């Protein structure tokens, strides 16, 4: 047992304007035997990570004996109490944060009101990220708040990796293929405006192109290339309605077509009319520069 008790805390040195995620303060402490906090409530999120020693954490119906590698989260407004062990009082680091996206990020990390505890085992990342936030605030640089938010994202990501390993069940063949198809759709839906190729997508996802294309067509009745083309055409159709100041050439470029004539050809294939005719049919004015009538 260490007799060298310490307590250090440092606040965000930047003038605070609460954003999506704002770290308020960070600290660390080698506690005394049976050092206790609470029962009390706070109006921010308070995340602790135990570096060494042990103690007891209570919140609601939860009572847990925690030790090195454990992290525990205290949400705003929840009555809590914790106390360090008599023989091996814990040394922990903590981070307080708030923001409009705090709850979403906490949930994505796998922490919940029902069980706000994660054990990271020998993974030292949570403790290191808590320390990085502490050091960023102590340095009092103009970018301290941004640095702290970045480190908090990494901290929550490391907790998410741990909870995902614990909760993820073995993937059945059907669920695996469904998930892979969702990944392809997500990839193409976000990259459609870029010069994406199916080869690059397959490499990014870690699969053979032929296997990926065959699986995708079995589930959607479309090849990835056809799906991507239709996706681009549909986004172009929306821009034809919503952005009358853009020419057909500009719209084609905006949705990933390098050639406006090819965009027009694909548009006619799916909708049986040219982009210009479609724009006229929905009552949008035609700009002078878009008067060139594409086939």
Q: In this predicted model, what pLDDT tens digit does every residue of 99-136 receive, in sequence order?
A: 989 999 998 888 888 889 998 888 899 999 999 999 99
Domain presence at residue 107: yes
Asked if residue 136 belongs to a domain, the reply is: yes
Cβ distance 79 to 41 under 8 Å?
Answer: yes
Q: What is the pLDDT of residues 126-170, one digit of tens each?
A: 999 999 999 999 999 889 999 999 999 999 999 888 766 544 444
Euclidean distance between CA atoms 46 and 114, whole angstroms: 16
Statement to judge: residues 198 and 290 lie in one domain: yes
Q: Which own/partner pairs from 234-243 qualify as long-range (CB within 8 Å, at least 24 positions apart)?
A: 235/192, 235/193, 236/263, 236/267, 236/275, 237/267, 237/271, 237/275, 237/278, 240/275, 240/278, 240/279, 240/282, 240/284, 241/279, 241/282, 241/284
Distance separating alpha carbons of residues 108 and 157, to the nearest angstrom: 8
Give all strands of the β-sheet with 54-59 in edge-to-edge order.
36-40, 80-84, 54-59, 62-67
Sign of the Cα torsion 100, 102, 108, 113 reads negative
156 and 180 together in one domain: no
Please identify, among 132, 167, 202, the residue that sits at the C-terminal boundary of a domain.
167
pLDDT band at 266 (very low <50, low <70, confident <90, very high): very high
pLDDT at 42 over 80: yes
pLDDT of residue 53: 95
**Residues 6 or more apart whose Cβ sits within 8 Å of residue 253:** 260
- pLDDT single digits (tens) 61-97: 889 999 999 999 999 999 999 999 999 999 999 999 9
- Domain stops at, among 167, 200, 233: 167
**Residue numbers of the domain that contains 71:** 6-167
Q: Which of 114, 134, 167 is the last residue of a domain?
A: 167
The tokens describing 122, both together, are 């020998």
Is the pLDDT reported for residue 294 higher than 60? no
- How many domains does one find in the chain? 2
Q: What mean pLDDT comes out for the span 234-263?
A: 93
Axis-axis angle for helices 224-242, 173-191 (nearest 10): 40
Number of CB atoms found within 10 A of residue 221's CB: 9
Structure tokens at 294: 């594409």
pLDDT in tens, 174-208: 567 888 888 899 889 888 888 888 888 888 888 88
- Do 46 and 73 meet the contact criterion of CB atoms below 8 Å apart? yes
């Amino acid at each position: 047992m260490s007799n060298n008790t310490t307590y250090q805390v440092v606040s965000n040195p930047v003038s605070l304007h609460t954003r999506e995620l704002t770290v308020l303060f960070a600290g660390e402490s080698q506690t005394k035997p049976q050092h206790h906090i609470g029962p009390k409530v706070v109006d921010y999120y308070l995340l602790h990570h135990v570096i060494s020693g042990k103690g007891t954490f209570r919140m609601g119906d939860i009572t847990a004996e925690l030790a090195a590698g454990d992290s525990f989260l205290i949400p705003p407004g929840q009555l809590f109490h914790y106390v360090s062990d008599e023989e091996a009082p814990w040394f922990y680091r903590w981070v307080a944060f708030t923001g409009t996206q705090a709850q979403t990020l906490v949930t994505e990390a796998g922490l919940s009101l029902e069980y706000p505890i994660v054990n990271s085992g020998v993974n030292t990342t949570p403790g290191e990220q808590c320390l990085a936030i502490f050091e960023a605030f102590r340095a009092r640089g103009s970018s301290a708040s941004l640095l702290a938010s970045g480190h908090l994202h990494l901290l929550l990501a490391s907790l998410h990796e741990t909870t995902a390993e614990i909760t993820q069940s073995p993937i059945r063949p059907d669920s695996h293929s469904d998930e892979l198809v969702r990944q392809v759709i997500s990839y193409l839906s976000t990259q459609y405006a870029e010069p994406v190729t199916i080869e690059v997508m397959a490499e990014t996802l870690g699969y053979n192109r032929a296997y990926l294309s065959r699986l995708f067509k079995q589930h959607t009745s479309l090849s990835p290339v056809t799906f991507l083309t239709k996706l681009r055409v549909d986004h172009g159709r929306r821009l034809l309605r919503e952005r009358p100041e853009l020419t057909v050439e500009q719209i084609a470029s905006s949705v990933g077509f390098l050639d406006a004539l090819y965009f027009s050809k694909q548009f006619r294939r799916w909708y049986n009319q040219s982009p210009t005719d479609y724009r006229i049919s929905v009552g949008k004015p035609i700009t002078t520069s878009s008067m060139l009538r594409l086939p």
